[in-house]
Amino acid sequence: MSRQLNIARLLADLPLFQQLHASEIIHLAAETREVRLDKGQILFQKGDLLDGFYVVVQGQIKLAFSSVQGQEKVVSIIGPKGSFGEAVMFMEKPCPVFTQALEDSHLLYIAKQGIFAAIDNDSAFARRMLAGLSMRLHGLIRDVEDYSLHSSIQRVIGFLLQLADRPAKGYAVFELPASKQIIASRLNLTPETFSRILHSLSQSGLITVKSKRITVPDIARLSRFDLTPLPCVKNAQGPPLSDGRTPLE
């Protein structure tokens, strides 16, 4: 039997709540409950109403929706210390996405009563909440820009550089945070295109791929790489265009 976790301590360690007073953390903890999900388990469905929001303590959560054709589009992958559901909580509107655990996950569900009380008592907390929502909005705008203006290879390289986090040592080794199919959906690519781009980058010596483990031997070289599509990368859904791009790039 696992030991009971100290919810107040968990909340106090999260960036969003680090500036709250101890008494405010205690009140917030009283409106918080733990949620544990098995890999593959659905947390809530599109159309559900939320009376609070979630923070990931451990694990990974996928936010996605299904198209009318039945294809899944991944909107975001939320890892430890990330949060989701705030906007829906404030708007009191049905959720536009469903959420699913990509691995065994431990979450905190924070009821809106506790959040509203913290906002009333601490204007700095309200500003942090607004900042978090604004960052999420800017992220969505960047996604639209990426899909509209950047080629498929540009999107993949940008994603890998984010995971590499530009370490001072000049190289990086990291694990892909989800399956290639889920990442491809997140980048608005077909799984086949994503795999082909990884293969082409590997052939060019920019990365090495072993299952989900990616090694970038030279971060600076990957950053400087001429981000025009490689000749051997073809989209399965159409031939290359005259400028080398494929119809979905």
CA distance to 6, 174, 199, 215, 216, per residue, from 205 (Å):
47, 17, 10, 10, 9
Predicted pLDDT of residue 155? 87
Mean pLDDT of 114-118: 84
Q: What pLDDT band is residue 117 in, cutting at 50, 70 and 90?
A: confident
Predicted pLDDT of residue 139? 67
Mean pLDDT of 101-115: 92
pLDDT reading at 228 higher than 80: no
CATH 3.30.70.20 for domain 7-148, yes or no, is no
Predicted pLDDT of residue 124? 80
Mean pLDDT of 115-138: 77
Q: What pLDDT band is residue 225 in, cutting at 50, 70 and 90?
A: confident
- Secondary structure element (H or E) that encloses residue 210, with its range: strand 208-210
Predicted pLDDT of residue 47? 93
pLDDT reading at 177 higher than 50: yes
Which fold is adopted by the domain 151-224? Arc Repressor Mutant, subunit A (1.10.10)
Phi, psi at residue 58, to the nearest 5°? -140, 150
- Secondary structure element (H or E) that encloses residue 77, with its range: strand 72-78
Q: How many CB atoms lie within 10 A of CB 103?
A: 14
**Closest of 30, 74, 37, 71 to residue 179, by C-alpha:** 74
pLDDT digits (tens, 9 = 90+) for 1-47: 345 678 888 888 887 787 778 888 888 898 899 999 999 999 999 99
Return the sign of the alpha-carbon dihedral for residues 249, 187, 44, 117.
negative
Most confident of 119-128, 139-148, 154-163, 206-215: 206-215
Q: What is the 3-state secondary structure (H, E, C) of 32-50?
A: EEEEEECCCCEEECCCCCC
Predicted pLDDT of residue 48? 93
b/e map of 51-79 (b: 16 or more CB within 10 Å)? ebbbbbbebbbbbbeeeeeeeeebbbbbe
* pTM of the predicted protein model: 0.68
Q: What percent of the chain has pLDDT over 90?
A: 35
CB 220 within 8 A of CB 161: no
Q: What pLDDT band is residue 163 in, cutting at 50, 70 and 90?
A: confident
Where in the chain is CATH 1.10.10.10?
Answer: 151-224
Mean pLDDT of 66-85: 84
Q: How many CB atoms lie within 10 A of CB 249?
A: 22
Where in the chain is CATH 2.60.120.10?
Answer: 7-148
Predicted pLDDT of residue 239? 36
